[in-house]
Amino acid sequence: MNRELLLAHFDRISDAPDAIPRLRRFVLDLAVRGKLVEQDPKDEPASELLKRIRSKKALLEKQGKISSPTPLPAIPDDVLPFTLPSGWLWVRFGELVEAADAGWSPKAKTFPGQATIGAS
């Protein structure tokens, strides 16, 4: 189903059982695939953003603020779930972030494996 078909049959679809959760998944799927809105040809390609991220991470590594990252394997073409719009790239999450501490947020009272913040 594409967005035009969805809009043409929205009244019928919205009355179906479990319609709202299914519509949410559909809209999210369109967004992730870059099909929710038309792509702006003036937008910077992902390759340029990735170059800036890599440069910043290299600088932080040189300054000793982050450790040297473990090289990540390339993503094989046979596992890509769909074709991306022009200017988009498949990259591993670790190429984009400095660190990902699962289960912790700034609102948390503790860090993973540590005592309560401010405890004496």
Instruction: Summarize the confidence of residues 8-30 as an average pLDDT.
Output: 83
pLDDT at position 15: 79
pLDDT band for position 70 (cuts 50, 70, 90):
confident
Query: How would you label 24-61 residue by residue, b for 16+ Cβ within 10 Å and e otherwise?
Result: eeeeeebeeebeeeeeeeeeeeeeeeeeeeeeebeeee
Write down the pTM of the prediction: 0.60
Among 73-77, 89-93, 116-120, name the one with the lowest average pLDDT. Answer: 116-120
pLDDT at position 119: 41
What tokens appear for 69 in the block? Answer: 């990252």
- Considering just the CA atoms, what is the radius of gyration of the chain in Å? 21
pLDDT at position 90: 93
pLDDT at position 117: 44
